[in-house]
Amino acid sequence: MQESSLFAYGILVNKEVSHRFMSIANLNRPADAFEQLETEDGVRQGVCHIRIQQRTGRKTITTVQGIGTEYDLKRIVQYLKKKHSCNGTIVEHPEYGEVIQLTGDQREKVKDFLIKVGIVNESNCRVHGF
C-alpha cells in the first residue's frame, strides 16, 4: 500500500519505508533462514503472529504480536476498536514485547486490515488458533 495511505490512517511513525522488489536474483534460496525477512537496508521484518486465547466459557481474546516499532500501536488499537466494535489494549510482554489484545475472535479482520494497510506482508502474517 502507498506510504501516503499509511499516513492517512495515522499509523506510520517513521517516514522512511523501503520496499523489496521481485527480481530473478531473489529466487535463489537464502543461506540464512531469516535472510528472506530482511529488507534492502538490512532491517529484519518480523513475522506477525495473530492468536486467539480462550478465557472463561465462550469468551476469547485475540492477540497480535510482531508489529514493527515504526508503527503507532495505540492508533492501530483505536482504529480496530472503532471499526470492529470491540475492546482492546496494548500489553507489555517480557518475551514478545508489546502485544495488542482485542476482545472476541478478530483474527481474520485484523489480518485483512494489516495486509490492506501494508503493515505486514501476507507471507509474514501467521494466524494461529482453532
Any idea where the domains of the chain sit in the sequence?
A: 47-128
User: Of the candidates 118, 94, 111, which has an alpha carbon nearest to the alpha carbon of residue 50?
Assistant: 111
> pTM for this structure?
0.66
Give the model's pLDDT for residue 17. 43
Q: What is the mean pLDDT of the chain?
A: 77
Dihedral angle computed from the Cα positions of residues 22, 23, 29 and 34, in that order, rounded to the nearest 10 degrees? -40
Give the model's pLDDT for residue 18. 43
For the ranges 37-41, 66-70, 91-95, 103-107, the one whose mean pLDDT is highest: 103-107
Residues 6+ apart with CB under 8 A from 47: 37, 66, 124, 125, 126
Given a cut of 70, is residue 28 above it in pLDDT?
A: no
Indicate the fold that domain 47-128 takes in CATH. Answer: Translation Initiation Factor Eif1 (3.30.780)
| Average pLDDT rounded to a whole number, residues 28-35 | 50
HSE on the CB side for 90, CA within 13 Å?
Answer: 12
